[in-house]
Structure 1
Amino acid sequence: MQLIAYILVYPILWLISILPFRLLYAFSDVIYLVIYRILGYRKSTVKNNLRLVFPEKSEKEISKITSQFYHHFCDMMVEAIKSLTITEAQMKKRFKFTNVELINDLEKKQRSIILMCAHYGSWEWIFILQKYVQHKGYAVYKRLANKYFDKLVKRIRAKYNSHLITTKETLSVLMKSKTEGELTINGFVSDQSPKANKAFHWNEFMGIKVPMYTGAEMLAKKLDMAVVFFSVKRIKRGYYETTFTTITETPKEFKDYEITDLFFKLVEEQIKAAPQYYLWTHKRWKHRDKVPAEFL
């Protein structure tokens, strides 16, 4: 069944991916009408999240942000599909880096990097970074249920010397790279919500206490990697600008969870500046009523 699904769906995705950008975003507008206006896909989740973290905003403001979010959400969907056939020149034109020299400087210091980001702006085209740096790129991801689509996604990333690894593979792969003296840059989307009963750390995110993933910080300390945050700014439709911020080059000097807390503060700054570009469809604050006594 997986192969049949792949055979049926892949040609459709490929045809969408070869559309000129003007038509691609017209198609995004159609998707927006379907999933937001007609189906209302997770609309209640989005609005409830926004009301929770922005209690000072009126319903009119919440509705405006919601509509803007769904427009951006649909754009990200078609941009992900576009990754099938987008050229290197197109990607470099549309996804720019304001200070890639920060990464180059760490490279000169022979430092591997933990690159932290959130579900904000656009992370789909960050892989073009590999065309500007010498580090080997790894990104931690959740394996797709369909093994054929999973192989496809890995193949797309490999075009830019980026390799997808699962959470279970991460430690062994990165330890092997360190042993072999290989410089790596390792991407973690670190704002997800871990299971409440498995969380080591709870703190406030957008004013609400939640469990936080700490894997990126723990790996940075264990393998002595620099920790860098990247923020993404939407310049205009289909165009993004990324800026790197060094959280630390000496992670072992930080107390446990301080790096994680600094990361979330940077994420908050992005969200408050332009909330419509955060991924509000996730139930990020679903565990807020399960805070263990020691974290209250």
Structure 2
Amino acid sequence: MQFIIYLLVYPILWLVSILPFPIFYFLSDCIYILVYYVIGYRKKVVRKNLELTLPHLSEAERLQVEKKFYKHMCDMFLEMIKTLTISKKEMQKRFTFSNIELFHEYEKKNKSIILFYAHYASWEWSITLGTHVNFKGYGIYKKIQNKYFDKLVKDIRSKFDAVLIDTKSTIKTVTENQQAGILGLYGFISDQNPVPHRTKYWDTFMGYTVPIHTGGESLAKNLNMNVLYMKVEKVKRGHYNATFIPITDDAAAMPEHEISRRFIKEVEKQIYEAPEYYFWTHKRWKHRKEKAQ
């Protein structure tokens, strides 16, 4: 059954991916109308998240953020499909880096790098980073149940010199690489909602005390890796720019949870700057505690 589903869906994805960009984004506009006005996909969740975290905005202002978010979300998911056939040259033109030299300076420190980033703007197209750096790039991801689509996703990433590691294999892979002297770049998207009863650290995020992922920090401290935050911004439709922000080049010496705290504060700052590009459909504040003072 998995293979049949793959055979049925893949041709549609491929046809979408080869559309010229003007038609491609016209399709996105049509999908936006369907998703927002007809289906109302997770509209209650998005609206609640915006009410909780952006109380300083008026209802009309939050509505504008909401609509802009849905338009961006439709663009972003179609752009994920575009990675099927987009060339390296085109990707490098559309996803740029303002200070790639900083990353190269960190590579010279001769330690592996943990790269934190968020569900903001375009995390999918950030895979082009692998074509700009010397370290081998690894992305941490949740394995797709359909093994054929899982392989497809891995093959797409390999076009941009990136290797995917499923969450269950992360510690083993990173540790083995360290023991073998393999210097790597490990990308962690760590801003979403972890399981509360397994959470060791809670902190303030957008005004509420919530559980925070600390897996990336634990690896960085245990293996003394360097840590950077990648701030991705949407320049215009179909174009993004990333800036690297240092968190630490001495993770082992950092106080407990300080790395995770600095990361989540960078994410928070970015959301306040342009909230429409954050991924609001997840129930990030489901397990919130009292509102922070």
Partner of 1:185: 185
1:47 and 1:205 mapped to 2: Cα distance? 17
Partner of 1:172: 172
Paired residues of 1:196 and 1:290 also in contact (CA < 8 A): no
SS at match of 2:61: helix
SS at match of 1:203: strand
2:57 and 2:48 mapped to 1: Cα distance? 12
1:203 aligns with 2:236: no
Partner of 1:133: 133
Distance 1:10 1:290, change over 3 A: farther
Q: Aligned pairs, how many?
A: 293
2:28 and 2:133 mapped to 1: Cα distance? 32
SS at match of 2:45: helix
1:257 and 1:289 mapped to 2: Cα distance? 18
Deviation, 1:131, is 1.2
Deviation, 1:174, is 0.9
Q: Deviations along 1:236-275, whole A, 9 cap, x unmatched? A: 1000000001100001111111110000110011000000
Paired residues of 2:208 and 2:289 also in contact (CA < 8 A): no
For 1:66-77, what aligned pairs fall within 5 Å after superposition?
66-77=66-77
Calculate the TM-score normalised by the size of structure 1.
0.97
2:272 and 2:21 mapped to 1: Cα distance? 29
Calculate the TM-score normalised by the size of structure 2.
0.98
One-letter amino acid of the structure 1 residue matched with residue 46 of structure 2:
V
One-letter amino acid of the structure 1 residue matched with residue 200 of structure 2:
F
Deviation, 1:289, is 4.3
Partner of 1:194: 194
1:39 and 1:6 mapped to 2: Cα distance? 25
Structure 1 spans left out of the alignment, 5+ residues: none
Deviation, 1:279, is 0.2
Paired residues of 1:36 and 1:70 also in contact (CA < 8 A): yes
SS at match of 1:56: coil
Large movers: runs of 4+ above 4 Å? none
Deviation, 1:132, is 1.1
2:107 and 2:115 mapped to 1: Cα distance? 13
Partner of 2:94: 94
Paired residues of 2:208 and 2:290 also in contact (CA < 8 A): no
Partner of 2:158: 158
Deviation, 1:290, is 8.8
Paired residues of 2:116 and 2:190 also in contact (CA < 8 A): yes
Q: Deviations along 1:50-88, whole A, 9 cap, x unmatched? A: 000111211101110000000000000110000000001
CA RMSD after TM alignment: 1.4
1:4 and 1:34 mapped to 2: Cα distance? 27
SS at match of 1:44: helix
Partner of 2:242: 242
Paired residues of 2:143 and 2:167 also in contact (CA < 8 A): no
For 1:275-286, what aligned pairs fall within 5 Å after superposition?
275-286=275-286
